[in-house]
Amino acid sequence: MGEQEQERPRPEPEPEPDFVYTERDLMRSGIRWDGARPDSRFDEALRLAWERRMRAGCFRYRLWEPELPVRELPGRCRLLAQLNVRRATERRKPQEILSVRQPFDPQRFNFSRVPRRELLFRLRPSPSPEAGGAEALLIINVSPLAYGHVLLLPEPELLRPQALTRAAVLRALELVFLSSEPAFRVGFNSLGAFASVNHLHLHGFYLPHRLQVESVPTEPLGEAGVGARLHRLCGHYTRGLALYSGGRARDRAEVADTLLAVSDLLLRRSLAHNLLVSRGCPLGPGPGPGPGPGPESRDGVRLIVWPRTPCFGAKDESAFNVAVCELAGFLPVKTARHFESLTEESALRAIGEEQLPAEHFSRLCAEIAALPLP
């Protein structure tokens, strides 16, 4: 009887008060996987609001951490597979995408149509770094992949298509720095890289699993300009580019401008791309024996971008789709058959098929390295 009462939907919740934050709320030290730091003010607000929506029945299905089977695939890459059948069967049908620069279409579903119960809160940096800019919203993802799965809408009222903007990158960086949990990540899928809705949005969620891409060695693309700030991943199973932010306002702005220069070039070349924003080690060959951050430090944030050949048309929901989560090492699997049979070898093969060929990636890196700093 008690369990039935808990399952009964409660009255529809109202949006939470605006979440106002300052530079003092950004967590730039003491973040470690082996630490026991308490939740930040942002983590507390997000968890409380998200769980309230889950109890009220605002999602398409219930999701609590113990209910989803997970297993780490044997092998060197530490890929984490998760079985989430109901996301495949009950989520909204993804939109058909035909171009990486497809214009916004107000006749199709967009996030201006979501009901009020899905809104968690407005994000308000104080003082606002962009006078007159549109407010950012945080809403639930009604078909969640993981605990705390939300959508970040950087400028929802401007009805922008699914292409990165400076405000989007800055809000994504701020969200990760607001959390004291290295498990909190933000991801972005461009058009042609398995974005489901052509209205600017990013994903945020908690994943209590270390990802190799957080600490894999990197090397700079060049000695000057964008090439000095931008690195390529070394010894990883993907061909990706990396930026790093220590969290200060000027540094975040420079990182955002650099990433926008790269994404603008990718769009001009009609290349799709995925982006992960996650706590990580500083870029370079890795921590050495001298002073500096240790291998467990996650005080800064890595931004990993994966250029790729676009895949157009509606998603095949029965297949293993390779988007930002899969490239990062988190593999949401939609059928029990795939979950039970998946191996590291088969997963890496599927991921490899979605990446740029090595020669194409090398030519692209040379072109990006020649870009002037914005």
Residue indicated by tokens 């093969």 = 349
Distance in angstroms (rounded) separating the CA atoms of residues 367 and 358 = 14
Active-site choice (199, 201, 236, 273): 201
Integer Cα distance of 31 and 37 in angstroms: 7
- Exposed/middle/buried for residue 43 (C-beta within 10 Å: 0-12, 13-18, 19+): buried
Q: Quick one: CA dihedral 348, 67, 190, 78, positive or negative?
A: negative
Pair of tokens at residue 284? 């370079």
Q: What is the CA radius of gyration of the chain?
A: 20
Counting every residue written for the chain, the total comes to: 374
On whether the CB atoms of residues 301 and 267 are closer than 8 A, the answer is: no
Burial class (CB in 10 A: 0-12, 13-18, 19+), 112: exposed
Residue 36 neighbours by CB under 8 Å, 6+ apart: none
First to last CA, the chain: 62
Q: Sign (positive/negative) of CA torsion 361, 273, 305, 222?
A: positive
**What DSSP string runs through 143-184?**
S-SSTT-EEEESSGGG---SS--HHHHHHHHHHHHH-S-TTE
DSSP letter string, 237-291: SS--EEEEE-S-HHHHHHHHHHHHHHHHHHHHTT-EEEEEEEEEPPSSS---SSS
201 is catalytic: yes
Place of tokens 């300052």: 22
Give the separation between CA 372 and CA 374, rounded to whole angstroms: 6
Residues that are catalytic = 201
